[in-house]
Structure 1
């Protein structure tokens, strides 16, 4: 019996020890294994990142039910999806232009070249050529040609063909169009993003050196973030292809946004070491204490990015997934790898300590408290105009904001071509191949439109009376298949304007009048039109959902209904101000950037509000006066907020100043300016909101304290009950007197009866002993 009870006791003890063995113990004790796992992950990520493709065509992200996407899908099934370009050569004679056209048409990868010789015999004598008839293709010694490639805009064969054309034309060549834009983006993005990343790392390192107290801390921060960025880039292989926007901003935003997590952990580790704890105990305590802050901060940012994935325009899904994955990877790297590095290099951090270069922010707390009502008045004065102005911005939606940005060679060439020959864009009609007569009538109807430059169809090209069957399939396959016909319509408009959209609507109406069913209109202009209608509807939904999501995280973290409102107001005001600036400065803004930065600014900078609010609640437990508490809060929070905000600002403005691509530069400008405004709003507006909401906050705090006291009392009762049960169990253990055990197990009546039964036996024994004596 004793042996059985001993075994049971040992098993209970072992079970309790296993329960106490947590994930934190694994992180601390298996540091070397964790380092090896991350080393392998980095190597695999570097390799896999080479196989991730970049897409530059925004129309690829349209939902399948969008009319332009339906047309693209049908055209790709029947004819493929060829790339297009526009080439101008000059100064040249008409005959030299014809020679250039013929040589371009022979280049591998070029399918068709549209020029004046399709309608005019340029070999006639000058007196027989009406130059007014060909002025859309040749005038003032310059010739312009429309090129259709065999493969898509991003194809290596298309890029090779453009290179050959540029070599052929030399200084006389000017190039524009979607294929040229893609090639330009591909060549410039990698270089510019590398420069922006290098400048960002240097500037962030300088900031960290100024705000930390060890020369080695910035090195470790950047190393941890670098590993997280590489792993995130490598795991993009899950998607296979990412958008050019994601490729451009994901890494530098991950560096800027996720840096806070490593700062939180190191700060807590330093405090634990200052208490005299050994490194292992210090890092264990640091993980436990910093984990809630790190996870709450990460959750708000992840929600801001995950919401983007719900956009119907799926570039949001692409960007949101990569950025959210980057934050998750950063959290894992900080929580698993960084503790091992701190244990390995803790002494090195201590040896390289230096005095802080940052001043005390006590004076800032005094200033903030003095001007609090002035700040509130200014914000109330401008917030309504800012909210109204942000919805009145001049937006761009399509590919025009990509490769052909001011300052680029593509943009300069585009200005030269459009300046001489006017704008030109290709609209494609895909209609059922049922009647050559109907197709010819449609071609003529479209050609009569005043804004149409040319219309190319097989029915309009083949002379009347010649049957299609006698023409080789290789000659007709570009415009006809067994089921569908393709009509190429060049219009004299830009690819994004109200007039361009009106032209598309009219062309669609004419095509549908001839082919009510199974007809499709596609191209750059229809795609941009669909992007505009879809993405504008996405904004309100995405913005509201991101606010609700972040508010829910704050509510759960603080267990308060008032704090989420107080925390979100400064950030939303900052978003309004940030998005209103382009309206007052007259700048155009990419609508995608408008949505992306609204969610990003909320998710990434709400941490500043959370930090200050948390510090204020702590200060109010120490200082009964609101004024003293808010001054202490500002002085305590300013360094962390300024450090994090400055890093995000530098990352954004780095993209803005380095990138020649309008979409990337504009996105960086919004991010940098948004971070700066958020910092100002948190430091100056949030304190006055906290003091105004103080009575409600203290009332909630009192309720929470009362609930906590009740909960602790219940816990104490449970502990007391367990202790009583434990004592009874100990009394029942082997080695206790049998009579005592029986007495405790029986009730009073049974115990008395047993004692009475035993008493006579005891008297007889005594009598026997006495007689024997």
Structure 2
């Protein structure tokens, strides 16, 4: 490695040119990366709902109804005009209303009251709209312009359109705020006014290169797009901080700048690579998920960390060598205290902290497994947002409702009638739009209007559009999906198909819950293996992984004990991200402990370790926490907001455990660590006294 670093240091201009060219190319490429906000697009190929959607798109010219539009204070005649206006909007494939199920020309009092109130109630008209997925944003905006803010719209198409527009604005806002805050943190924890600019600039280059290189994927998920840059900044900032501190240590020893940089790189390579590789592994574990948002984020973020490592090892040393004279000129008095006193506080608190830690392991592990989860997109907007308020108002007026489409092989109208009769007996099924329900099995297809017929009958399938009074997801909804599928199987074996938000969410739940244990086990095992190799110890990986995993369990058990729900995607992602991101702090502290332990007794080693590592740990943890808080507070997308909340809280918990529990575990297990670590040379006061006495005797003789 030394020869490689010498080459970097001796070819500084080449390095600068290469990175400048990369920045320009990647800046252009980043504008061409597409972002997908529809979670259903990330279901594994071959799941029942995915096959159903693909088949329906081939067989029919329209999708599943995906929006509900409520217009208040409107008469029947005006509602019919509104229906036509909605139908005329480009991107609207179909609008279903009362006139599709009853004859609105005759007095409504003669019709079934429950049927009427599914569409028209207390002067409110509820239209079921099918929006083309390729023009969701434009179509949703046009509908909003037509009905005005005083009326309501909700549904998966609306959720996706609003999320797309809001998240784009919010990501820019987060970046705009996080940069000055990170600079402020770095100004406080550094000793020069130039260092923070170099640190942030280096990671900024890495983020830009990563964003541009995402073009190789064509399209990335909204989670990767929104959280990727913030996570990369927060997670990889500590690599450059570790290198900077090593460089300053070498220079304080009197080494010339180039030699100091080469030595700093050689000495910090092991700890930085260990930190980087564990983070890469944490993200890479997501690649093994069948739910495709996992691989999407895993590949992009593993690539992001690798790019950050390359930038830190190649670009940052060159920048430091160019700017160190200016760094020296702009040095200021340290704004943070000497943490020796903090080390003495840790000595007093670490054993009680370890005891509390041990007590929390089992209940938090159990608690985080018992959370209530949301799997789909139905709860991504709170009632603080317009779409959340609209959804709540529609549900208060007309109740909870969504649509499922059951497709069965065409031809046997008698069998379809029997199936429809059984479906009508399910309490949650409020209405069915199908050939046998609306035209009747006895009516020849030649007598039915072709536009209506094409909505229900295709070349190979007959389509039944079910309106069900239920949430888009939840235990009762999932039971309903199972019940409908069992009826489909009863009449048509494996030839029936069920599509819809609830069916997709059911499959999503079934898929990602199976992913969890496998992904976590592989992430933990891989991190353990990296630590085993880099630390050359059996005991240290156990201590570090247990410490960070317990921080994760505490973080994820809090919603259970507080009675709150979790988005399963956020739960799944944070499990690996928190491990990969915060185990760095544990590695830094432990590596320095092992280094100092060679020359000092273990109590003094703890104090000196805390004195030399606390600033680096707090700097990195502060930035990661701030990034999480901003994502939590600014994002209106529930998944992203909760991911930020979990990230911020998880970082704080991991930092507390690293600063108070791990020192205690190292202290208690000191002898075990020495015996289970290859090449460990711990300071031994008794041996030193004996050697000193032997030396004195020899000198006397």
TM-score range, shorter chain: over 0.9
Unaligned runs of 5+ in 1: 1-19, 707-773
Alignment of 1:134-533 (within 5 A): 134-149=116-131, 151-152=132-133, 155-156=134-135, 158-402=136-380, 404-463=381-440, 465-469=442-446, 474-533=451-510
Q: Could you give the per-residue CA deviations for residues 559-592 of structure 1, whole angstroms, max 9, x where no partner exists?
A: 1111111222221121111111111222111111
1:660 Cα deviation (Å)? 1.5
Flag the structure with more relative contact order, 1 or 2, with Cα contacts below 8 A and sequence separation at least 6: 2
Does residue 676 (structure 1) correspond to residue 667 (structure 2)? The answer is: no
Deviation at 1:372, TM superposition (A): 2.3
User: Is 191-200 or 477-486 further displaced after alignment?
Assistant: 477-486
Q: Aligned pair in 2 of structure 1 residues 80, 207: CA closer, same or farther (>3 Å)?
A: farther
Equivalents in 1 of 2:367, 2:2: separation in Å? 57
Deviations 1:367-415 (CA, angstroms, capped at 9, x unpaired): 111122221222223322211111111111111233x333111110000
- Distance (whole Å) between structure 2 residues aligned to residue 401 and residue 38 of structure 1: 43
Deviation at 1:647, TM superposition (A): 1.2
Q: Say if 1:401 and 1:661, in contact at 8 Å, map to a contact too.
A: no
Q: Cα distance, 1:691 vs. partner?
A: 1.3
Secondary structure of 2:431's counterpart equals strand
| Aligned residue in 2 for 1:26 | 7
- Following the alignment from structure 1 to structure 2, what is the Cα–Cα distance between the partners of residues 560 and 165? 63
Note if contact 2:274-2:587 (Cα within 8 Å) is conserved in structure 1.
Answer: no
Cα deviation, 1:174-229, whole Å, max 9, x if unaligned, reads: 10001111111011101111122222212111110011111011111111111111
Q: What's 1:75 paired with? A: 56
Contact 1:653/1:669, CA 8 A, preserved across alignment: yes
Deviation of 1:332 after TM superposition, in Å, equals 1.2
CA contact (8 A) 2:62 2:455 kept: no
Written as runs of structure 1 = structure 2, the 5 A alignment for 1:628-639 is 628-639=604-615
The runs of 5 or more residues in structure 2 that have no matched partner are 683-701
Deviation at 1:470, TM superposition (A): 5.7
Matched, 1:107 2:89: yes
CA distance in 2, matches of 1:503, 1:697: 55
Separation in 1 of the partners of 2:501 and 2:590? 49
CA apart distance, 1:319: 0.9
CA shift digits 1:486-528 (9 cap, x unpaired): 2211100001111111111111111222211321112111111
- Tell me, in whole angstroms, the C-alpha distance in 2 between the residues paired with 1:124 and 1:515: 38
Deviation at 1:234, TM superposition (A): 1.1
Cα distance in 2 for residues equivalent to 1:260 and 1:561: 26
Query: 2:527 matched to 1:553?
Result: no
**Partner residue of 2:558 out of 577, 581, 606:** 581
Task: Tell me which moved more, 491-500 or 509-518.
Answer: 509-518
Residues 473, 34 of structure 1: CA spacing in aligned structure 2 closer, same or farther, 3 A cutoff? farther
User: Is the 8 Å Cα contact of residues 488 and 496 (structure 2) preserved in structure 1?
Assistant: yes
Q: Which residue is equivalent to 1:98?
A: 80
Indicate conservation of the 8 Å contact 2:405/2:463, yes or no. yes
Structure-2 separation of matches of 1:539 and 1:126: 52
Tell me what 2:33 maps to: 52
Deviates more, 1:106-115 or 1:164-173: 164-173
Answer yes or no: is the 8 Å Cα contact 1:453–1:490 preserved in 2: yes
Provide Cα deviations, 1:278-329, integer angstroms capped at 9, x if missing partner. Answer: 3333323332222222211100100001011101112110111111111011
Picking from 62, 78, 91, the partner of 2:43 is: 62
TM-score (norm 1): 0.85
Contact 1:406/1:660 (<8 A) preserved: no
Higher mean C-alpha displacement, 628-637 vs 592-601 = 628-637
Range moving further from structure 2, 605-614 or 666-675: 605-614
Of structures 1 and 2, the larger Rg is shown by 1
Once the two structures are TM-superposed, the CA of residue 265 in structure 1 deviates from its matched residue by 2.0
CA distance in 1 between counterparts of 2:63 and 2:213 reads: 31
Q: What is the distance in 2 between the residues matched to 1:620 and 1:81?
A: 70
CA-based RMSD: 2.1
| 1:313 counterpart SS class | coil
